[in-house]
Structure 1
Amino acid sequence: MAAAAEITSGNNINAATDSVRPGQHHRNIEVVVAPQQPLPTGDGVERRRHLQLYHAALSGDWETAEGIYESFPGEVNARITKRGETALHIAAAAEHTHFVKQLVGKMSIEALTYKNEAGNTAFCFAAISGVEALAKVMMETGRDLAMTRGRENLLPIYMAALLGHRGMVSYLYDETNEQLTDSDRITLLVALINSDIYDVALRILKAHPGLAYARDEHQLTALHALAQKSCMPSNVVDQSPPGFWNKCLDPFSGFKLAQMKKLMHKQALDLIQYLWEQVVLLDDSTISCQIGKPWPLIFTAAERGNLDLLTILIRLYPELIFKVDQNTYSIFHIAILNRHEDILKMIYQIGSIKNVMTIYKDREGNNMLHLAAKVLESPSRLNVIPGAALQLQRELLWFEVTILSLSIKKIHLIVGGNIQDKGTPVFLDKTAFKFFVISDAISLVTSAISLITFLSIRTSRYAEQNFLWSLPNRLIIGLTTLFIPIGAMMGAFVAAFYLVFNDTLHQYSIPIVVVASLPVIFFIWQHYRLFLDMIHSTYTSRSLFKPNKSPLFSKRVKPKVS
């Protein structure tokens, strides 16, 4: 949820909120006060008077406004802008509580509910501002103001919820609770969850438990809204409206901020627990419908990394572990694709069931290990780790951890299977197999050294003294250990080919060896000049500035004296 409030040039006041979550509606709340052209009502004298009232309301100058009202009592209820706002609209948008208090005492009940061209009342402006004192002053005239709908038929409390004004929402809910319909409550409930106002959402649910599985006009339930949230413990502040924490807390109080985050996290967990406890009381088919429409919330939660939601859901309804989407992906597959390690760790807690997960394959035949080897495409997840070197390191760790967590067995090398009663390779006694194993080991070790060396170059501090000796040596070691695994890999391939096809394709052995050698030759041809230059520059450059052994003036040659 992104919310913004902007005041420009002292004349325009805008508040807009956009919803960008999949499956959720898109709302705009706009408050615009345009003083440049007051509502033309006849003579220029009236236009100038309206302009004076506008500036007085915008600046909170009640003395000026009161003087005008004493001379022209009818102007108290007048629309003073081209868009149809009254002075009360302007003062409420500018958050001048004293001005509003004086003005509402003079206005008629009907004028208090005047709407501008956008359809918003002055009370809508007060709700959008988030200033509770404004709302309380206006509510003294009657509670109907809080139930008078504004733009797109939205209630003021819903507007305040969209913008994340927790105090305003709590106050308005106390005042309007009995007048809200179930449709109003479920729509408000989704907005509250999107704005992290979990305490009020839980109050609504406990008072009306049936809303736990009710849907809003876009078929969203409260659980679907929660599934869209990212990891709530760490991102709860980031998802709050701009300026919210500055209003609630002292900017220098880190302790208060941590306490508030902890409290909001607990409120979110309590809300999820209560919702799911109500839903699991239904029959299985209804539960499946609840969590599957309009989109499957468990897979959305896994994609977003919402561990809290998944933990509570699976704890009370373990069958969710076996759910797969249209790609035959479980929540663990999706966690690997999006690199959410906390969700993948859950696989350790399901025992031998994880072995069943390993056989799940998508339409392209990929299992979990293939997904771990895929390049991460999400920019938001790539930016979690700074620097290409550390990103590569994290990707390698993901691949290794996936292998360990899945306990993948029954992976046969191309050199053949194992002897069933002993578990040893069938080609153990053959020289080609020993050559294959040695080549494979050399390739593994040297490639790892090469990778570590180049990573050390990438993460080096690049101090001036490092360029003299340390970095050139690392580059030489890296290139050397890069040559070796390529050659060893080709040797392992040739040995494996000989073991498998020795009896049938013997006549093709030489051409295949030649073809297998091409990558090695090509790589050496591309980099040998760099390799030689590095050796020459590193190990012979130190002698460039050594003094010549032969002196400039030889002692053996004596100049002739005439």
Structure 2
Amino acid sequence: MYKPKGPDPSSSMASVPLEEGKLDLSIKPGESEKKGNINDGVEIYVHLNKALQIGDWNAVKEFLNRHPHAISAKITVSDKTALHVATEAKHVHIVGELVKLMSEENLAIEDYEGCTALAQAAYIGNYRIAECLLGKNKDLISIPNNMGTIPVVLALYNGHLKLGRYLYFLTPLEILMANNGTSGASLLCVAIYSKALDIALGLVQLCPRLAVAQAQNGDSPFLALARMPDLFPSGYRLVFWKRWIYSSIHIQLAGPTDEICLNIQKLARNQSNDKETSASGLFSLNRLVSNLQAFLGIKHLYEMKLAHFLSHELLCRMTDPISISDTQQRATGMVHVAIVRAIMEGNFEFVFEIVKADPDLVWTHDEKSANIFSVAVEYRHAKIFSLIYGLDMKNALADSTDSLYHNNLLHMAGMLAPSTSLNHIPGAALQMQRELQWFKEVESIAPPWVRGNLNKECLTPRQLFTKNHEDMMGKGEKWMKDTASSCTVVGALIVTTMFAAAFTIPGGNDQNKGFPNFLNEKLFMVFIVSDALSLFSSSTSVLMFLGILTSRYAEEDFLEPLPRKMIIGLSTLFFSIAAMMTAFSAALFLMLHEQSWIFIPIICLASIPITLFVLMQFPPLVAMAISTYGPSIFDRKLKR
């Protein structure tokens, strides 16, 4: 891609008086005056350069009146013309005046990087300057820089979507399809990376074979889409209420997708100067988007689902050429590389749609000859691995080994998961549990002989698992013991307090009969019951935590026994704290029921410990319960 480099022209020239005698009037347009020193040819333009930099049109005009050839001369050491300098400085009014004075040929003069002024405008994202330049010479849209990058690609690469769409409408299709579609593939890649999915859809609709073409930098549209998991639902982890809103949003385009793509084609070929109409006509759903966003008030989720919808449409259209492409075309389009990359990124939708388009692609492998399910296991992407349940060749896939380490599918489950797949799991103990669940699940589908296979290190899958997870198991044991120790102290304090409270009841006892004075009060029964429940539940939690402290901590214990004890201990501890606060509030109300102005604030303060416990300990408790007793992380119901 084009990136400005080289010295600052103004900083490399000495400020000298302009002398008429130093001018060489035989200079040709687009050339700098060359003398003995490399800077001699540009020193005479120092005042012009500075005037262009600060936007002083009067000084520029005066200089050009005295030296008419300077309008097309290269006035900097990086071969920039006055038009280049004014464009780089973003002085629209000076660019407009220079364009009036210049011929169409002079507008196409390139600097030392092969960039025209339009390429410079595309790089900085100045819509008005690009509009001004193309208003006089539309051929500028097709001139690439020294790296073969055309202006529309430069604009999108640098994040200027509005300018990129405008340039896309004016770029001839034959330019995009030249050299086996190199420029078109480059545009398609950068449109995907910049999330300009409307342009990407239009391009694929115009020419489907761009999907298997190779970009200027060796990239490919398939690889670009595979590297963007956030364009698909599997790339996001939404909380439950956002998932509910997301699922309730319905994307309704103003017409069928084919019709919209056809409109894009017409707009793309439209050479009209009505740019505002073209820009607003990109999608007829723009007003619908605004209205729905205002109605829902959830702009981010709507934009996310719209991007997911368009990405799915784009992916489906890109997979159409796969069934008719040959081996060479797939290699050029990097289809196999893209599949492996999508698995590494966890891009389930990409893998699913491509394998569905051509089931033979299930035998895709990486550079180590590991099949796609081995890669899915290595990077711990459960949804992608679940695709194996719909296949009839599970044994063959599980038995195949990579060429580098001779690891089979079960060996891959014995390797340590990447940190990115474990970061969302709280606590080392739960991470160890998840690793065991992976190993057990892969082991359940592997044929018996696979479990005893040796890899290059002469290790069975189970031995490899033990070796790689030794450190994690130690951290899990420490996490369990630290948590249990802390909670044991809290539970013991509650046991002591609640036991004492049962004999120091509010209101005291009748001196004659020994019965509580508030025995007939309903709130007194609430106090007694809450006290008893808190005592019993805290005692249970202490026993559970003691059981955790005295456990043997074998690998299998992390799968269910240890999490079960922790779930029971935390649940009963939480219940005991809530019951203790209830008993405290009931006792307080019995004694201060006529002083509500004191009672109510104190009751509110009593909820603080419960809230703090919920905020700190409840999320790990829920995560542990779901991980232990919730649905499997694998979907066995996926069909072929």
Considering the TM-score relative to the shorter chain, is it more than 0.5?
Answer: yes
The answer on 1:62 being equivalent to 2:57 is yes
Aligned to 1:186: 185
Report the AA paired with residue 205 of structure 1: V
Report the number of matched residues. Answer: 408
The answer to whether the 8 A contact 2:214-2:220 is kept is yes
> Over residues 405-448 of structure 1, what are the superposed CA-to-partner deviations in whole Å (9 max), with x where a residue is unaligned?
65347769x9xxxxxxxxxxxxxxxxxxxxxxxxxxxxxxxxx9
The answer on 1:374 being equivalent to 2:428 is no
The answer on 1:128 being equivalent to 2:123 is yes
Q: Which of the numbers 362, 368, 377 marks the counterpart of 1:321?
A: 362
- What is the CA distance between 1:216 and its match in structure 2? 4.5
The answer on 1:264 being equivalent to 2:307 is yes
> Over residues 44-85 of structure 1, what are the superposed CA-to-partner deviations in whole Å (9 max), with x where a residue is unaligned?
798888444334333434344345445555443343323222
- What is the CA distance between 1:334 and its match in structure 2? 0.3
Map 1:403-552 → 2, pairs under 5 A: 403-404=440-441, 407-408=444-445, 454-456=478-480, 480-482=550-552
Aligned to 1:308: 349
Aligned to 1:397: 434
- What is the CA distance between 1:313 and its match in structure 2? 1.0
Aligned to 1:53: 48
Q: Work out the CA distance in 1 between the residues paired with 2:58 and 2:305.
A: 47
- What is the CA distance between 1:130 and its match in structure 2? 1.7
Q: 1:113 to 1:182 in 2, by over 3 A?
A: closer
TM-score (norm: length of structure 1): 0.59
Q: 1:60 to 1:478 in 2, by over 3 A?
A: farther
- What is the CA distance between 1:272 and its match in structure 2? 1.7
The answer on 1:357 being equivalent to 2:397 is yes
> Over residues 212-262 of structure 1, what are the superposed CA-to-partner deviations in whole Å (9 max), with x where a residue is unaligned?
43345676543243334344337999xxxxxxxxxx999x99944443333
Aligned residue for 2:171, secondary structure, equals helix
> Over residues 289-312 of structure 1, what are the superposed CA-to-partner deviations in whole Å (9 max), with x where a residue is unaligned?
56767x543223212322221111
- What is the CA distance between 1:36 and its match in structure 2? 1.2
Q: Work out the CA distance in 1 between the residues paired with 2:313 and 2:6.
A: 35
Q: Which of the numbers 371, 375, 384 marks the counterpart of 1:330?
A: 371
The answer on 1:34 being equivalent to 2:9 is yes
Aligned to 1:79: 74
Q: 1:386 to 1:400 in 2, by over 3 A?
A: closer
> Over residues 331-384 of structure 1, what are the superposed CA-to-partner deviations in whole Å (9 max), with x where a residue is unaligned?
221011112233223334x165545533334455533333122123x56556x4
Q: Work out the CA distance in 1 between the residues paired with 2:223 and 2:66.
A: 57
Map 1:90-129 → 2, pairs under 5 A: 90-129=85-124
The answer to whether the 8 A contact 2:143-2:150 is kept is yes
Aligned residue for 1:370, secondary structure, equals helix
Q: 1:54 to 1:342 in 2, by over 3 A?
A: farther
**Structure 2: runs of 5+ lacking an equivalent:** 23-41, 237-285, 452-471, 495-541, 558-640
Q: 1:256 to 1:77 in 2, by over 3 A?
A: farther
Q: Work out the CA distance in 2 between the residues paired with 1:226 and 1:108.
A: 42
TM-score (norm: length of structure 2): 0.53
Report the AA paired with residue 97 of structure 2: Q
Aligned to 1:144: 139
Q: 1:32 to 1:345 in 2, by over 3 A?
A: farther
- What is the CA distance between 1:101 and its match in structure 2? 1.4
Aligned to 1:340: 381
**Structure 1: runs of 5+ lacking an equivalent:** 1-16, 18-26, 238-247, 415-447, 489-562
Aligned to 1:229: 228
Q: Work out the CA distance in 1 between the residues paired with 2:190 and 2:416.
A: 35
Q: Work out the CA distance in 1 between the residues paired with 2:166 and 2:348.
A: 32
Q: Work out the CA distance in 2 between the residues paired with 1:33 and 1:127.
A: 20
Report the AA paired with residue 263 of structure 1: L
Q: Work out the CA distance in 1 between the residues paired with 2:193 and 2:161.
A: 12
Higher helix share: 2
Q: 1:115 to 1:59 in 2, by over 3 A?
A: same
Q: 1:235 to 1:78 in 2, by over 3 A?
A: farther
Q: Work out the CA distance in 2 between the residues paired with 1:361 and 1:393.
A: 29
- What is the CA distance between 1:475 and its match in structure 2? 10
Q: Work out the CA distance in 2 between the residues paired with 1:268 and 1:30.
A: 35
Q: 1:155 to 1:236 in 2, by over 3 A?
A: farther
Q: 1:91 to 1:343 in 2, by over 3 A?
A: same
- What is the CA distance between 1:125 and its match in structure 2? 0.5
Q: 1:125 to 1:327 in 2, by over 3 A?
A: closer
Q: Work out the CA distance in 2 between the residues paired with 1:450 and 1:187.
A: 49
The answer to whether the 8 A contact 1:77-1:111 is kept is yes
Q: Work out the CA distance in 2 between the residues paired with 1:410 and 1:154.
A: 52
Aligned residue for 1:308, secondary structure, equals helix
Q: 1:217 to 1:87 in 2, by over 3 A?
A: closer
Report the AA paired with residue 269 of structure 1: H
Aligned residue for 2:12, secondary structure, equals coil
Q: Work out the CA distance in 2 between the residues paired with 1:366 and 1:153.
A: 43
Report the AA paired with residue 111 of structure 1: N
